[in-house]
Amino acid sequence: MNWRKGIVIRFHSNTLTVRDLETNINIECYLPGKFKLQKIRPIVGDYVEYVVEKNHEFGVIKNILPRKNELYRPKVANVDQVILVTSLKEPKVDYIIVDKFLVLVEKEQLDVVIILNKIDLLTSSEEKKDMQDFLNIYNPLYPVIPTSKITKDNIQLIKEVLKDRVSTLAGLSGVGKTSLLNMLDPDLKLREGDISPKLGRGRHTTTFAQLLPLKFGGFVVDTPGFADLTLLGIDKDEIKLYFPEFLPYQSYCSFSNCSHVYEPECAVKEAVEEGKISYIRYNNYCVIYKEMEQ
């Protein structure tokens, strides 16, 4: 029998929807009991080998290929990159929220691209300066792409970033993650802006993660945004590793285990004073560190 290769794009009540990697056709597949006996449970994003049954109506999973990585929220395997969506107005996302997301991404060792969304709303000279400040801080560290669904800036560039990769969106509720996907691929027809104040999340957001195939190639996971962000499972002493701009300086600190918060003769603090490291980023690092001390 002919073994075919696919990627799991949905998984519900024991049926997997697998998208064939060659034909791009979706097929419902079932999971034989032996996987359950071996306690192997596929998740969205898994690459699988399957065979098509004689009637051509459904497939049977034969093999689940090893995962490159596995995210827990949302539960997805083989993610190539995180697209961190943020905005400076409606909502004005605090830099510390951005930095907390970046800490999580660095811990998972994932590539990240920051999308600064809703730039159509930044019209006053003060707001334009806010945008320039944002770019000055983050662009030396990560790629930052400004856009908006009104002005449609850089839409081609964003498509190139997503093309043929598995991406997951991240960002606070209301920053425009779903709108961005609809702008890039109108065929997706996802529901936007439907936020329940009681639940604090989109009313129609599906509770299970699914991979959305993009018509220009690649897959994306649209996640419900978070109202707040807690850094669970991270130790305060490892956070400094997730601020990549600190790393070139840390070996010059007087104390080998310097936290860069309290110690004297700290090379990271000196770099901040010399303007080589952003004061805002450093300050956020200290705030996160102290939050975790409590």
Ligand X SMILES: Nc1nc2c(ncn2[C@@H]2O[C@H](COP(=O)(O)OP(=O)(O)OP(=O)(O)O)[C@@H](O)[C@H]2O)c(=O)[nH]1
Q: Which residues are annotated as a binding site for Zn(2+)?
A: 253, 258, 260, 266
Give binding residues as ranges: 117-120, 171-179, 253, 258, 260, 266
> Which one of the spans 106-114, 195-203, 233-241, 275-283 is the region binding Mg ion (CB under 5 A)?
195-203
Assess contact for 72 and 104: CB atoms under 8 A.
Answer: no
Tell me if 258 contacts Zn ion by CB under 5 A: yes
Pairing of strands 195-196, 201-202: antiparallel
**What's the closest the beta carbon of residue 148 comes to Mg ion, in angstroms?**
16
Q: How many CA atoms lie within 13 A of 66 on its CB side?
A: 1
**166 CB contacts (<8 Å, ≥6 apart)?**
7, 45, 76, 78, 79, 80, 81, 211, 218, 219, 220, 221
Which residue has 């930044």 as its token pair? Answer: 122
> Which one of the spans 74-82, 99-107, 160-168, 202-210 is the region binding Mg ion (CB under 5 A)?
202-210
Which of 24, 12, 50 has the alpha carbon at shortest distance from 219?
A: 24
Cβ proximity to Zn ion: between 260 and 281 the closer is 260
**What's the closest the beta carbon of residue 213 comes to ligand X, in angstroms?**
19
Q: From the list Mg ion, Zn ion, ligand X, none, which binds 266 (C-beta under 5 to 8 Å, kind-based)?
A: Zn ion
Query: What is the DSSP-derived secondary structure letter of residue 103?
Result: H
Tell me if 178 contacts Mg ion by CB under 5 A: yes
Give the integer Cα–Cα distance in Å for 8 and 17: 6
Cβ proximity to ligand X: between 78 and 148 the closer is 148
Give contact residues for ligand X (rule: CB under 6 A): 117-118, 120-121, 148-150, 171, 173-179, 192-193, 195, 201-202, 205, 224-225
Residues that bind Zn ion (CB under 5 A): 253, 258, 260, 266, 268
